[in-house]
Amino acid sequence: MVDTSLSGNAEEKTAETADRKFRKELSAGITALALLSVLNRADEPMYGYQIAKLMEEDDKQSMPLIKHGALYPVLRSLEGNDLLGSRVEPSVAGPPRRYYEITDKGRYTLGRWVTIWKRTSRLIEKILGGVLDD
């Protein structure tokens, strides 16, 4: 049985907290997948801010996939697992920039993760049924 004794405001805060937690958990793996994909399609190495801007949604009402500050730990993690390589170059405006590029191991991993993503998303769509229809 659902407790309906919460006031509207308290219920909304509880829902917003649950939404934030769900988004955080959902984005954890998706962010790494998206970063590998972005860098795989890039014609040249990219620095963090470039990547972040590319990953932002056009719809300003939506939450971005990842906040700029959270991007760098994921980049470092991917680099630590040899999925990305990086180099630091001086910048004409501001501090030096670290440029990232996908490695061969990163491309291989991306292919495996895309397969996992497709299987997972098909299963979730099947389970949710018509819930996803707008």
Q: In this predicted structure, what is the pLDDT of residue 91? A: 87
Distance of alpha carbon 97 from alpha carbon 34, whole angstroms: 21
Length of the chain: 134
Which domain covers residue 18, as residue numbers? 12-128
7 inside domain: no
Q: What is the pTM of this model?
A: 0.77
| Helix, strand, or coil (residue 85) | strand
Mean pLDDT score, 58-69: 62
Evaluate whether 38 touches 45 at the Cβ level (below 8 Å): no
43 inside domain: yes
- Which CATH number do you get for residue 120? 1.10.10.10
DSSP-assigned beta bridge partners for residue 69: none
pLDDT digits (tens, 9 = 90+) for 4-60: 555 568 888 888 888 888 877 777 788 899 999 999 999 999 999 899 888 876 555
3 inside domain: no
pLDDT digits (tens, 9 = 90+) for 94-125: 899 999 999 999 999 999 999 999 999 999 98
134 inside domain: no
Distance of alpha carbon 93 from alpha carbon 9, whole angstroms: 46
Structure tokens at 7: 């006031």
The DSSP result for 91-119, as a single string, is -SSSS-EEEEEE-HHHHHHHHHHHHHHHH
Total structural domains within the chain? 1
66 inside domain: yes
